[in-house]
Amino acid sequence: MNSITNLNTISHETALTDVSPTCLNCQNCSIKDYCLTPESVGGQLSELKHSVKKRRIIHKGHLLFLAGQPRRNAYVIRKGSIKCYDLDPSGKERVGDFHLTGEVIGLEDLDTSTHHCFAVALEDSEICEIPLLPLQNLLLSRAALCRELLSLTTCRVRQQRHLTKLVSQSEATARVANFILGMAQRLRLRCPDQSRFRLSMARNDIASYLGIQMETVSRSIGNLQKQGLINVRSKQIELCKPEQLALKYAFH
């Protein structure tokens, strides 16, 4: 489903399904060990638990929010993954980021009143909704929590700067290799076997994110497989020789 179809056929209100409010105890949550950041466990997480007002289900292909929509909440992904994108002048999607289980959406632009991009579920997902106003008030009175969330957003900014350098200075195979290495790093707390994981995004989304053609993504993956560095079956990725992959292609 393309972005234009999403905008014309799916409303923000009907895309989300509320989960019972009795399920909102952060301390008993199955992802508390990697929600936001590992360091959030303990005192900082307990500060946030009273700010989570709703947990919602968002189905694959449905929008979480639209560009230009008023910003009222931050969202923690409890399960699944979300793609953020904008549209070029012709209406074509330009993928800006992927957000995974345990990561937060909506803290990047606290100084703006509206969302700057669209956010769509790459798979059936579940999100915890944190209203921004009480969160901002909490941050004013909790310096440690403020530092934690600032560190989180700064880390994402560094990752985006790294991507910018990668796109401008690396050839296609290196871009794809670094994307795979980066996803493995981000998924390390969520996957028991860090050498095997599933990518929820389609290859055309990866291509848009890396600034190359989808066919180039497929050729690059084939090249890495021929070298024996990775093994790919559909969206399942196996890092056969992660150290060699990083040594040959990692961009610093």
Q: Supply the CATH number for residue 102's domain.
A: 2.60.120.10
DSSP letters along the chain, please? --HHHHHHH--HHHHEEEPPGGG--GGG-TTTTTSS-GGGTTHHHHHHTTT--EEEEE-TT-EEE-TTSB--EEEEEEESEEEEEEE-TTS-EEEEEEEETT-EES-TTTT-SB-SSEEEESSSEEEEEEEHHHHHHHHHH-HHHHHHHHHHHHHHHHHHHHHHHHHHHS-HHHHHHHHHHHHHHHTTTT-SSTTEEE--S-HHHHHHHHTS-HHHHHHHHHHHHHTTSEEEETTEEEESSHHHHHHHH---
C-alpha distance across the termini of the chain, in Å:
35
Q: How far apart are CA 143 and CA 147, in angstroms?
A: 6
Q: Domain boundary at 103, 124, 153, which?
A: 153
Judge whether 159 lies within some domain: no
Residues constituting the chain: 252
In a domain, 199, yes or no: yes
- 146 lies in the same domain as 175: no
Contact 88, 207 (CB under 8 A): no
The amino acid present at 3, given as its one-letter code, is S
Do 135 and 182 fall into the same domain? no
Sign of the CA dihedral 20, 25, 26, 27?
negative
Q: At what angle do helices 143-169 and 132-141 cross, to 10 degrees?
A: 110
Instruction: Provide the pLDDT for residue 159.
Output: 66
User: Within 13 A of 205's CA, how many CA atoms are on the CB side?
Assistant: 20
Domain-embedded: residue 110: yes
Q: State the CATH number of the domain containing residue 209.
A: 1.10.10.10
The pLDDT tens digits along the chain (252 residues) read 444 334 433 344 435 666 655 455 666 777 766 665 444 434 455 556 566 778 899 999 999 999 999 988 889 899 999 999 999 999 999 999 999 988 888 877 666 889 999 999 999 999 988 888 777 776 666 666 666 666 666 666 666 666 677 666 689 999 999 999 989 988 876 766 778 999 999 999 999 999 999 999 999 999 999 999 999 998 999 999 999 999 999 876
Are both 140 and 205 inside the same structural domain? no
Same structural domain, 94 and 209: no
In a domain, 100, yes or no: yes
pTM: 0.80
Number of domains comprising the chain: 2
Please count the other Cβ atoms lying within 10 Å of the Cβ belonging to residue 118. Answer: 22
Does one domain contain both 40 and 116?
A: yes
196 shares a domain with 138: no
Looking at 124, 153, 182, the residue that finishes a domain is: 153
Give the tokens for residue 238.
């196996």
Q: Give residue-wise pLDDT tens across range 126-183.
A: 998 888 877 777 666 666 666 666 666 666 666 666 667 766 668 999 999 999 998 9
- Burial classification of residue 247, based on how many CB atoms lie within 10 Å of its CB (0-12 exposed, 13-18 middle, 19 or more buried): exposed
> Has residue 161 been placed in a domain?
no
* Pair 14, 136 in one domain: yes
Residue 37: count other Cβ atoms within 10 Å of its Cβ. 18
Residue 228: give the domain boundaries.
170-249
Q: What is the per-residue pLDDT for 185?
A: 85
Q: Is 109 part of any domain? A: yes
